[in-house]
Structure 1
């Protein structure tokens, strides 16, 4: 929801950062890789109890992940390969974070398993609708908005580490919100895909 509704508020910062990185000589795919590598470290830092560092790196990774697409559009060179690695790397970063939580908090592995299952279901609907839809948006595929998008996921990831005493409840809420989003997307898809 925030990725869709609030993006216009941070768009000037994203575009300025995109132009700066392009002027620095970086390509969109290089920034995608940089965001991936930074995000991949979050699970390791969670395991080591460096929660604040994991949160900072998660958000830096997410910001760069937003900037890379703006870079590609700025020079009018969005590619299917860039879209593929972007979406794939997003999921791997999320998995790194979740695996770090599972190793650090083994007592909540059941709720983390529910989170993973809900993500798989929601992403299956999201990607399938994007593939089957003839509509296109700002991205190189049809972006189906929903209650839980990446920003909401990052907010809940952050809350899991800031308020780790309530992590079980937060992870269950996360799973429920993602399942709701999958249902929301299915209902929209039913109207869209005739």
Structure 2
């Protein structure tokens, strides 16, 4: 929901940084890999109860997640890069709630439900993108992407905001997780309705 507005703010500096990094030999896949490693370090920090360190690492990881796209635009995007990027994102999204469940067993149920909601939301996202590509649908509302990005109530910006709030208020993880899981389910349902409306007739 917030991604189109966030892109207008962050894309210009990210694109400048991407040009600079591309000019010095960096590749998008290298930066995606760095972002994934840092994101996993953030999850380990959460599991160890180091929430402020995790918050810093999440910020670095998400900056890398933005930079890889900027470098890809500067060097020329590849299908492998798009595949690796979405895989790294989903791995990070799953790792954070699991880490909160490890940090405090009382969080386990909320963490489990949140990961399940991510699975449903992610499946609705990727399935929609697959059919949209088959039909030649395109959108640039969320910047230039390797495949169609369907809108929803809970997208990347909302997910990062939820993770930030969890790190700032770890004692409220359960409440935040339940609320965000509900947003993810609403997002998945909305995409299903869009699919029923757009994909009913043969391509």
Taking structure 2 as the reference length, what is the TM-score of the superposition? 0.90
Q: Please give the alpha-carbon distance, in whole angstroms, between the structure 2 residues aligned to 1:192 and 1:59.
A: 36
Runs of 4+ in 1 over 3 A off after TM superposition: none
Asked if 1:136 is matched to 2:124, the reply is no
CA distance in structure 2 between the partners assigned to 1:98 and 1:67 by the alignment = 24
Which residues of 2 match residues 7-156 of structure 1 at below 5 A? 7-75=7-75, 77-133=76-132, 134-137=136-139, 138-156=144-162
How many residues are matched? 193
5+ residue gaps in structure 2? none
Corresponding residue of 1:175: 181
The whole-number CA distance in structure 1 between the counterparts of 2:41 and 2:121 is 24
Aligned residues of 1:4 and 1:145 also touching (Cα < 8 A): no
RMSD value over aligned CA atoms?
1.3
C-alpha contact (below 8 Å) 2:26/2:71 kept by paired residues? no
- Kindly state the Cα deviation for residue 95 of structure 1 after the two structures are TM-superposed: 2.0
Report the Cα distance in structure 2 between the residues aligned to 1:151 and 1:55, rounded to whole angstroms.
15
Check the 8 A contact 1:42/1:57 in 2, yes or no. Answer: yes
Shift of 1:24: 2.5
Q: Deviations over 1:50-86 (max 9, x none)?
A: 11111111121112112111211222x2111111111
The gaps in structure 1 that reach 5 residues or longer are none
Q: 1:108-142 CA deviation, whole Å, 9 max, x = no partner?
A: 21111110111111111100110011212321211
Question: In the aligned structure 2, how far is the partner of 1:56 from the partner of 1:83?
Answer: 25
The one-character-per-residue Cα deviations of 1:31-55 (angstroms, maximum 9, x if unpaired) are 1111111111111111222111111
Moved more, 6-15 or 124-133: 6-15
Match of 2:164 in 1: 158
